[in-house]
Structure 1
Amino acid sequence: MGWWKKKKSRAVVKEQTWDRDQWRGEKILEALIQCCDGKPNSIKFFTADQILKATQKHFCKFVFPNYIFMGNGTLDNHRMILLRKMKGRSPHPPRDICTGPPKDVAISSMVSDHKNFMKLVGCCFEFEYPVIVYYGGERQYSPVDLNKIVSWRRRMKIAEEVATALAYLHVAFPRPFVYRNMGLKNILLDKNGVAKLNDLSYCVSIPKGETHVKLTWAGKDYDYMDNDYIFNRVVSEKTDVFGFGVFMQKLLTGEKILRSFVNWREKNKFPKWLSSYMGEGRMGEIVDPKMSLVLEEEERCLMEAFLVLSERCIGLRGEVPKMVEVAKELRRSLKQGE
């Protein structure tokens, strides 16, 4: 049975991945109260029939994992929509994490007007897998693919925009939100190359007056996780800063994995080339060969500054910076390279 089929009875619901009762509208309200002190946000709930009619039942056009882009039909006066199915999530997450559609929808409604997040339209919980609906406008979206992004300046721009989005989560609300879901797979680019941070279901808020929160479960993406998160399940703003530092190094080197499962227990173990190639005119040996560039002096200096900033983020160079500081430094570097 396709994931778009409606659920026919409560007996069927019990056998599905998701418990329908768990994802009713009141769960969204609970998430809003938990995440943003009950601040009202515009969230529209669509029926399965509305989604099917708007997309002309074309649910088989997969563009990238867990996403389906629809360019035909209308929904709430939006001609272009992006549907995201919440597939593969645990129906019973730990209470202190609250992952899944309710949290994703609630936080998406809070950041929807920011240019580096997807614009939320609403959601539908009448399918086998809950569906979140984003406004597509006239934009085409695609996931970040380093094989196709061969411009160093464009990679820097993506880094700056992702840093801006993370900084917004950290400072724009009474309680900081920690994204803790860093990875290329969660960044979408519109047709103009603007980066959109996506999938907010793993966000956790830091309690007022505290600097961190301890969870019962950490996750499995070791490559982006600092040791305090891996071993102690402690989440703070530094969790995002560390993950972003790893992301920066991947943009620079094109490496898919920097810390493997084998060595994740060793403190901050990264490839030996990180600092040893700077100041010796050897940056070209670590830069992603897919990038089409000639390393002139000014560009090499910008890359070295980029690498140093990434090392500060992962705690290899003095005090770990705030995400706001990281975004500002990247913005300065972009202007310097103009």
Structure 2
Amino acid sequence: MGWWKKKKSRAVVKEQTWDRDQWRGEKILEALIQCCDGKPNSIKFFTADQILKATQKHFCKFVFPNYIFMGNGTLDNHRMILLRKMKGRSPHPPRDICTGPPKDVAISSMVSDHKNFMKLVGCCFEFEYPVIVYYGGERQYSPVDLNKIVSWRRRMKIAEEVATALAYLHVAFPRPFVYRNMGLKNILLDKNGVAKLNDLSYCVSIPKGETHVKLTWAGKDYDYMDNDYIFNRVVSEKTDVFGFGVFMQKLLTGEENFEELCGWKNWREKNKFPKWLSSYMGEGRMGEIVDPKMVLEEEERCLMEAFLVLSERCIGLRGEVPKMVEVAKELRRSLKQGE
């Protein structure tokens, strides 16, 4: 099962993990103080026994990597729950100001009431890999799969909701939070198709009076990183705007097509700089870049062109890079125009 070893008694597990659990608890407190500016947030700490009891010591259905939806798992006043196992997170103190699961829990507690984030219940740090607990309700969650989302309006709606979540991180708190973890894998859809931005463990805050922060480690998902982030490890709000621009282009083209059209694979493997979709914007060439799996209405092609132009503004190819709030507003306007 990965994070519960049957052959060891609970007493042995407790004895072996006490120092680690204490360290994780201290990091949670540090993250709360750093992120929340002293404001209290409700976070419940569950024991391993509580989690195992709630899930009847087994997991009913694997839905997507590192997540398990508890079809009959109940906890906290009999509400359905969704667990996320933080598999792959280093048990050692992390680099920079990214504190992994503690940072994820702290910031999740701050954004929990926003419709485009998961609603946090609490966490359990007694397993080998930390477990974060969300309310599941009656919602069935699934990752974004562009092979199944063939409606352009649905893809635009996902973009608008993700942009809204990023804008919230940038402007809702005394210090902006930069998500810096853009990618299809980190967006969940509930049963109504509402997008939820997830995994906040890479968030960093911009110090008061500053516009950026410099890290000693950039990360590894180069698809969504601008040059200043990759080469200089400088993180600002523009880091998220750039990553979102790439995300928009993948919504337009499909993930596989994006690789072929822009040559990102060649860039990573052969150090050849990628090209952008602007080279395909000549008269009548939009059809060459649109994901062939999508079912389109004729009037939607104009929305696609505006969508592409906005994505290139985010990437920095068309004048000044917009703020995330502006991007969300523009996407909202485009959706209304298409109604």
TM-score, length-normalised on structure 1?
0.91
Distance 1:268 1:168 in 2: 35
Larger CA deviation: 31-40 vs 305-314: 31-40
Question: Does structure 2 retain, via aligned residues, the 8 Å contact 1:166–1:179?
Answer: yes
SS in 1 for 2:103: helix
Cα distance 1:109–1:337, how it changes in 2: closer, same or farther (>3 A)?
same
- The range that moved more, 63-72 or 268-277, is 268-277
Q: Which moved more, 1:32-41 or 1:55-64?
A: 55-64
Could you tell me how far apart the structure 2 residues matched to 1:59 and 1:102 are? 24
More moved, 51-60 vs 238-247: 51-60
Assess if the C-alpha contact under 8 Å between 2:32 and 2:38 holds in 1: yes
Q: Deviations over 1:20-54 (max 9, x none)?
A: 24544332111011112121000001111111111
Deviation by residue 1:41-68 (Cα, 9 ceiling, x = unmatched): 0000111111111111123632111011
Identical counterparts, % of pairs = 99
For each residue in 1:251-294, what CA deviation from the matched residue of structure 2 results, as whole angstroms up to 9, or x when unmatched? 000034x7666654899987656123335122111100011xx6
Work out the CA distance in 1 between the residues paired with 2:106 and 2:8.
27
**Taking structure 1 as reference, are residues 265 and 47 closer, same or farther at Cα in structure 2, changes over 3 Å only?**
closer
Q: 1:310 to 1:12 in 2, by over 3 A?
A: farther
- Give the superposition deviation at 1:71: 1.7
Q: Is the 8 A contact 1:62 1:68 kept in 2?
A: yes
In structure 2, distance between residues paired with 1:54 and 1:335: 43
Conserved? CA contact 2:254–2:291, under 8 Å: yes
Task: Please say which of residues 23-32 and 195-204 is displaced more in the overlay.
Answer: 23-32
Q: Distance in 2 between matches of 1:227 and 1:13?
A: 45
Q: CA–CA distance in 2 between the matches of 1:267 and 1:309? A: 29
Q: CA 1:204–1:304 in structure 2 vs 1: closer, same or farther (change >3 Å)?
A: same
Q: 1:118 to 1:78 in 2, by over 3 A?
A: farther
**Alignment partner of 1:72: what SS?**
strand
Change over 3 Å in CA distance of 1:245–1:53 after alignment to 2: same
- Give the whole-Å Cα distance in 2 for the aligned partners of 1:311 and 1:17: 48
Q: Which moved more, 1:53-62 or 1:326-335?
A: 53-62
**Corresponding residue of 1:163:** 163
1:27 and 1:197, CA in 2 relative to 1: closer, same or farther beyond 3 A?
same
Is 2:272 the partner of 1:272? no
User: Where do 1:43-192 residues align within 5 Å?
Assistant: 43-59=43-59, 61-192=61-192
User: Does the aligned pair in 2 maintain the 1:213–1:234 contact within 8 Å?
Assistant: yes
Q: 2-side partners of 1:13 and 1:99: how far apart?
A: 24
Q: Is the 8 A contact 1:223 1:259 kept in 2?
A: no
CA contact (8 A) 2:152 2:296 kept: no
Give the whole-Å Cα distance in 1 for the aligned partners of 2:172 and 2:269.
Answer: 35
Give the direction of change, closer, same or farther, for the CA distance of 1:24–1:105 in structure 2 (3 Å limit): same
Partner of 2:305: 304
Q: Secondary structure at the match of 2:122?
A: strand
Q: After superposing the two structures, state which structure 1 stretch, 326-335 or 36-45, moved more.
A: 36-45
Measured in 1, the distance between the counterparts of 2:27 and 2:275 equals: 47
Task: Give CA-to-partner distance per residue, 1:179-198, whole Å, 9 cap, x none.
Answer: 00000000000000000000
Contact 1:227 1:267 in 2 (8 A): no
Say whether the 8 Å CA contact 2:264–2:274 is kept in structure 1.
no
Gaps of 5+ in 1: none
